Each structure stands twice: as C-alpha cells, then as structure tokens.
Amino acid sequence: MSMNASLSNALIHQKLKLILTDLERLDVLLHQRSYEQLVSDEAMSSLAERRLERVINRAIDVNLHLLRSVGSPPPNDYTHSFLDLATVGILTPALAQGLAPCVGVRNILTHEYDDLDMKQFFSSLQHAVRLFPNYAREIERFIEKG
C-alpha cells in the first residue's frame, strides 16, 4: 500500500526516536540489575514501568497514524493496531504477532496497576527491548519506500 500525502513523517520519526531512547535506557537498566534487584528497588521498577508504558503508547500512536495514512479502517482495539499493520504490509506478520501482546501489559500498567505480576513484567521488559528496535526499523523502511 502506498502512503497518503498527509502522513507526517516528522511525527513518526520523533515518536520512533523517543521509543528507541526509552528502549536504550531500559536495556541499560536490565543489564545493570537482576530481576531481584529491580523488583526490590521501587524507584527503579517504577521507572522501568513508566518507560515501557511510554514505548507501547507511542507505538500505538504510530500504528494508528500509519493505518489512517494508508486508508485502513480503525482497528478494533490497540492489539489489532499491530496486527493490522501486518495486514497492510507495514510490519511482518511475525513481528506484529510478537508485539501485539504488549498491549495487555500496557493495559495493566495504565489501568490495573495492582494486578502487575513482576515476573511477567520483567519478561515483558526483555521482550520489548528485543522486539521494538525491529518495529522501528520496519516502520522506517516503510516510510522510506513512501
């Protein structure tokens, strides 16, 4: 699919830059602290939670913007915003499937804070640090094809 001229590349580049900055900081945090150290340090675990939430929220913003730009109907929910990017050829299906569950983590961080399972959260951090750089590359590749 081709992009609509109304797509704001500057907006997407800015969001991707912020995503990658937060991911770098999360990666450093994960390399500096073990699971036990992270969960026992409330300030650090709160910081990690907030950064992950920002990464996912910004990606959702990018997803919705891209889907609108290619004339795709709005997704049923934020999870489908990743899956729909694969449907229109912006993300690979494997990456979209890998990222879609991040929305559930985001929902817990945003709405159901008391239900946060720290082991699941730590695993989600590792997952995000591994997959979201690929997300940024695939989005950039799509924009460059313009």
Whether residue 1 is contained in a domain is answered as no
Please tell me the predicted confidence (pLDDT) of residue 5: 41
Neighbours of 88 (CB within 10 A): 15
Distance CA 14, CA 20 (A): 10
Please tell me the predicted confidence (pLDDT) of residue 110: 84
Angle at 25 between CA 36 and CA 15, to 5 degrees: 135
Place of tokens 């500096």: 32
Supply the range of the domain harboring residue 17. 9-145
Tell me the CATH number at 37: 1.20.120.580
Whether residue 14 is contained in a domain is answered as yes
- The answer, yes or no, to whether residue 124 has pLDDT greater than 80, is yes
Whether residue 70 is contained in a domain is answered as yes
DSSP state letter for 77: S
Split into its structural domains, the chain has a count of: 1
Distance CA 49, CA 43 (A): 10
Whether residue 3 is contained in a domain is answered as no
Whether residue 2 is contained in a domain is answered as no
User: 116: pLDDT confidence band, cut at 50, 70 and 90?
Assistant: confident
Q: List the structure tokens of 16.
A: 């991707």
Whether residue 109 is contained in a domain is answered as yes
Average pLDDT of the segment spanning 70-93: 96
Residue 34, classed as helix, strand or coil, is coil
- The answer, yes or no, to whether residue 142 has pLDDT greater than 90, is yes
Neighbours of 118 (CB within 10 A): 14
Whether residue 50 is contained in a domain is answered as yes
In Å, how far are 15, 73, 87, 120 from 136, measured between CA atoms? 10, 22, 17, 24
Please tell me the predicted confidence (pLDDT) of residue 78: 96
- The answer, yes or no, to whether residue 57 has pLDDT greater than 90, is yes
